[in-house]
Amino acid sequence: MWWAIAVAAAFGYLLGSVQFGLIVGRITRGIDVREYGSGVTGATNVIRTSGVKAGIVVIIADIAKGIVPVYAGLGLARLAGVDSTDDRAWAAAAGGLAAVCGHIWPVWAGFRGGRAVATGYGAALAMNQLAALAMIPVAGLVVGATRIMSVMSITMAPVLALVFVVLAAMDISPWAYAVYAIVAAGLIVYKHRPNIERLLAGTEPRIGKGGERRVQSGEEARSPS
């Protein structure tokens, strides 16, 4: 069982480290999206810098790289002879959480990635489709009301984590998935610290705005955050 968890985590991290936002930005505009807008590789920043179509490609790819390690973990656990669904879920959760970490701190891109909202959602979608899909209209309402993507990201990750905890407490979903959701939500909110500061200051850009080239000091340019 432990080898299945380890392999799922390693695979998830390496796949999560693939920065589709960086790739699409270079293909469509010949730029490093980390030098523009929010300085991260997620779909929101790609929309700001490279357009809506490019952003849609990135969000689909980022969701997929959250889904795949979860199913890989389940498959590896089966190969390891694990019969219990709850036990197999730990390998799936390891793969999903590692993909989130890979997206945030990618080995292929100097450990400077994104905030893992789409990747984290993809992993949750693979774990419980009904719970994850139920978040879409709620997220849509939040975005429609605020026109600020970071508000949706900061609020919906903890809400989804709470849903997974409730499902686990009711024996509907494995506790491994609840643990995943809690840790992933914590990482996502942590990576949104600059957004929270801007929201409090009233300077957070709305959808499609804020794609200008970043002016960084030498220390900021070296920082992976």
Would you kindly state where each structural domain of the chain is located, as residue ranges?
Answer: 2-209
Q: How far apart are CA 117 and CA 158, in angstroms?
A: 11
The pTM of the full predicted model, rounded to 2 decimals, is 0.90
What distances in angstroms separate CA 155 from CA 93, 160, 183, 188, 194, one per listed residue? 21, 9, 15, 10, 15
- What are φ and ψ of residue 210, in 5° steps? 80, 30
Q: How far apart are CA 126 and CA 124, in angstroms?
A: 5
Q: Is the pLDDT of residue 220 over 70?
A: no
At 163-219, the pLDDT tens digits run: 999 999 999 999 999 999 999 999 999 999 999 999 999 988 887 666 567 555 343
Average pLDDT in the chain: 91
Q: How far apart are CA 173 and CA 159, in angstroms?
A: 16
Identify whether the C-beta of residue 119 lies closer than 8 Å to the C-beta of residue 46: no
- Find all residues with CB under 8 Å of 209, minimum gap 6, and list them: 48
